[in-house]
């Protein structure tokens, strides 16, 4: 059936008006081949109605780009290609001065220092990729607040200054953990939020993905995290960090 130009323009206008009415809620697209099969406890992306005006401002005032979120879900494998750091070997010859040699007995001859040459091999391994922040930026498409070699805590501080952070979990956002030097996180740690679900007790169950959790740029995908907004803490319930990552202090969530 062929559409007349007038009918086509009417349908196009109708689609535009529907899209402009607000943030359309969408169900999560099918998992990529890289991700595991969803379990019975798999999380949905549906957000519950905001309980108060503050939640309404945080969740609806910054309308997530659902098309971008869906694209991120479908193409998330494109953001991860493990590249181990290259090892560079440098060989140097270093001269060292030892003890003075004894004089040979000739008149006027002074003791001389003994010089030896040593060969030193230095091996330096570069940074693996993708680093955790690079992976989070790739998943979200957020290119703002690039301050050179930006750390996660610097990224969050900049985004907060620009009004692009929240304490309420949102699918497609980035959860940033605070500095934890005891666990080797001197600059914090970002994690991409795949999906969220609010629990009856006020906590949130998150499905997150992050890389470089082991300082080797490996990918932890679809880990379950229990987020407590009152304490601003994150507790890993699955994934490699589940054995130790309890009550991890969280700064908040970076929005698109």
Q: Residue 154 has what pLDDT?
A: 97
The domain ranges of the chain are 127-256
Please give the Cα distance from 127 to 87 (Å, whole number): 10
Confirm if 98 and 116 have CB atoms less than 8 A apart. Answer: yes
Residues 111, 101 contacting (CB under 8 angstroms)? yes
CA distances from 137 to 65, 159, 218, 231, 255 (A): 15, 13, 16, 26, 11
Give the pLDDT score at 123.
Answer: 84
pTM of the model: 0.65
In tens, the pLDDT along 108-156 reads 666 667 777 788 888 888 999 999 999 999 999 998 999 888 999 999 9
Going from the C-alpha of 169 to that of each of 61, 228, 230, 237, the distances in angstroms are: 14, 10, 13, 17
| Cβ-contact 151, 231 below 8 angstroms | no
**Nearest-5° Cα angle at 151, 150 to 157:** 90
Q: Give, in order, the Cα–Cα distances in Å from 156 to each of 18, 162, 204, 213, 239.
A: 34, 10, 20, 19, 24
Residue 249 tokens read as 């202090």
End-to-end CA distance of the chain: 41
What CATH number has the domain spanning 127-256? 3.90.1720.10
Per-residue pLDDT tens, the chain, 256 aa: give them: 454 556 656 655 555 554 444 443 333 333 333 333 333 333 433 333 333 433 333 433 345 566 766 666 666 889 999 999 988 888 888 777 766 666 555 666 666 677 777 888 888 889 999 999 999 999 999 989 998 889 999 999 999 999 999 999 999 999 999 999 988 899 999 999 999 999 999 999 999 999 999 999 999 999 999 999 999 999 999 999 999 999 999 999 999 8
Do 236 and 49 meet the contact criterion of CB atoms below 8 Å apart? no
Q: List, for residues 214-232, the tens digit of each pLDDT value.
A: 999 999 999 999 999 999 9
3-state percent helix, strand, coil for the chain, nearest multiple of 5: 25, 30, 45
């Amino acid at each position: 059936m062929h559409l007349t130009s007038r009918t086509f323009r009417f349908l196009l206008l109708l689609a535009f008006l529907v899209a402009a009415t607000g943030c359309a809620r969408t169900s999560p697209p099918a998992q990529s081949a890289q991700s595991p099969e969803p379990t019975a406890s798999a999380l949905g992306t549906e957000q519950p109605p905001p309980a108060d005006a503050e939640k309404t401002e945080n969740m609806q005032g910054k309308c997530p780009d659902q098309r971008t979120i869906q694209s991120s879900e479908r193409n998330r494998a494109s953001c991860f290609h493990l590249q181990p750091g290259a090892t560079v070997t440098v060989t140097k010859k270093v001269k060292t001065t030892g003890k003075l040699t004894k004089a040979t007995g000739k008149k006027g001859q002074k003791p001389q220092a003994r010089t030896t040459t040593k060969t030193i091999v230095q091996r330096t391994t570069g940074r693996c990729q993708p680093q955790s922040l690079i992976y989070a930026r790739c998943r979200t498409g957020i290119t703002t607040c690039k301050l050179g070699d930006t750390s996660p805590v610097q990224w969050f501080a900049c985004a907060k200054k620009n009004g692009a952070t929240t304490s309420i979990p949102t699918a497609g956002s980035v959860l940033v953990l605070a500095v934890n030097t005891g666990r080797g996180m001197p600059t914090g740690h970002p994690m991409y939020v795949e999906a969220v679900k609010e629990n009856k007790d006020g906590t949130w169950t998150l499905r997150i993905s992050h890389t470089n959790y082991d300082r080797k740029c490996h990918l932890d995908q679809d880990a379950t995290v229990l987020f407590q907004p009152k304490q601003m803490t994150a507790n890993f319930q699955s994934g490699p960090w589940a054995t130790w990552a309890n009550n991890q202090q969280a700064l908040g969530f970076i929005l698109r």
